[in-house]
Amino acid sequence: MSENFGFSGDIGAFFTQLGKTFSASSNGTLPREVVLDIARAAVSAHGDKSLTEGELATSIAALRLADLWLDEMTTLPATGGKVTAWSRAEWVEESLAGWLELINPLAENLGNSMQSAFKEIEEGGELPAEMNIGALGGFAGPLGAIVKQLGGALFAQQLGATIGTLAGKVVGANDITLPLTHVTALVPANVAEWGQDLGLSTDDVRLFLALRESAAARLFAHVPWLATRLKDSVSAYGSGLVINVSAIQEQAERAIAAMGESDDPKALQDAIDGGLFTPAHTPEQEAALAKLETLLALIEGWVDIVVGRAMGDRIPSRLNLQETSSRRRATASPTQITFATLVGLEVSPRLAREAANFWELATNEYGVAKRDEFWSHWELLPDASGIADPPSFFRSINVPNDLSGLD
């Protein structure tokens, strides 16, 4: 392995570019202010403006009306919490605590895995002789702690850039299918861009997105286990992180070369955004991601059906709005961007469509109240096979109350 693991002197340039982030990271955790600064910079680069009184008023009115319509189509009540609107920068600040809580386990596990990987290489005598690691305390000592901090530094860079990108796309507080806040809110600038060039009424677009926002908010507010389950799935993925140091070296050298050729520190950020240091998935991680994808699809599908039924014939452009939503989910939706960037999960649009079909059939089979009872415990929900074959799943749960006549 040693012949594939020879650090050049230029590796210092790579770590220098991480200086600010690296110094702010502690024990592999995510430095809040660094993540916030990176996200804010991205928002500023793409443009933002303060909300007008009119934008705030129309957003709140749409969310209030959405709750009235949803009352007829779900037993999950309105959240009763704050209803408002945000600028892009405000969305970043309001959602940041939720992001850090969700992603911190990944950063910590990456740091631990990096420290363990370098320590194993050191103990196996596979480091080049010119690298006097012993003089620096070895990877079991202070140097290992520095490597561990690098995990937090890397994730801070990647998370900050991801949040900054999402700030220009999310239309509401719950648009990413993650419980990042306890607020129901729209982002008017992104709502306007979402409906641009569709040739549809601005009011219809705003109300449709308000319905989706309010439906997702109800689900997160009244299904206590849902937030925990989502976070546990991300943590389960993180617990299986295994670092391939040879791959890290190759990726780092490519990033250094790119910086040298362009003389632009942004080359490092581009490498990180593209998955620098992102390890390959283990079978255990693949299983964790499959469970996460199934749960995300069930949330998306439920929102689709509840919102579609709430609109009914009230919004003439209902079908166009739903088609646009489905099309964007299949390309570059906030959920797609989030999970593809941070955990390498390509959320399947097909699975979301199948989940919507599952909830439609469940509504027809059981009615609204019993349909929503599926959310009372995660074990009552179908897995991917149950989503793909709802009739078989329904037969499996329809057990007769009187079993005395059975052998």
Looking at per-residue pLDDT, the higher value among 124 and 387 belongs to 387
- Token readout for 252 is 């780092």
pLDDT band at 407 (very low <50, low <70, confident <90, very high): very low
- The domain segmentation of the chain, as residue ranges, is 2-283
By the 8 A CB rule, do 325 and 335 touch?
Answer: no
- Token readout for 11 is 């590796």
* 184-186 vs 83-85, strand pairing mode: parallel
First CA to last CA distance, the chain? 63
pLDDT of residue 234: 81
* Element housing 186 (H / E): strand 184-186
Residue 400 has pLDDT above 50, yes or no: no
By the 8 A CB rule, do 87 and 235 touch?
Answer: no
Mean predicted confidence (pLDDT) in 51-73: 97
pLDDT band at 405 (very low <50, low <70, confident <90, very high): very low
- Token readout for 196 is 């641009």
Q: What is the mean pLDDT of the chain?
A: 80
Query: What phi-psi label fits residue 403: left (phi over 0), alpha (psi between -120 and 50 degrees) or beta?
Result: alpha
Closest CA to 237 of 280, 301, 178, 297: 280
Mean predicted confidence (pLDDT) in 212-223: 97
The distance from CA 270 to its chain's CA centroid, rounded to whole angstroms, is: 19
**pLDDT over 90 for what percent of the chain?**
48
Closest CA to 238 of 343, 386, 96: 343
Q: How many Å apart are CA 203 and CA 310, to the nearest integer?
A: 16
Mean predicted confidence (pLDDT) in 235-263: 63
Closest CA to 205 of 336, 59, 335: 59
Q: How many Å apart are CA 254 and CA 252, to the nearest integer?
A: 5
Residue 182 has pLDDT above 60, yes or no: yes
- Token readout for 136 is 């620096």
337-381 tens-digit pLDDT: 888 877 777 778 899 999 999 999 999 999 999 999 999 999 999
- Token readout for 395 is 């037969």
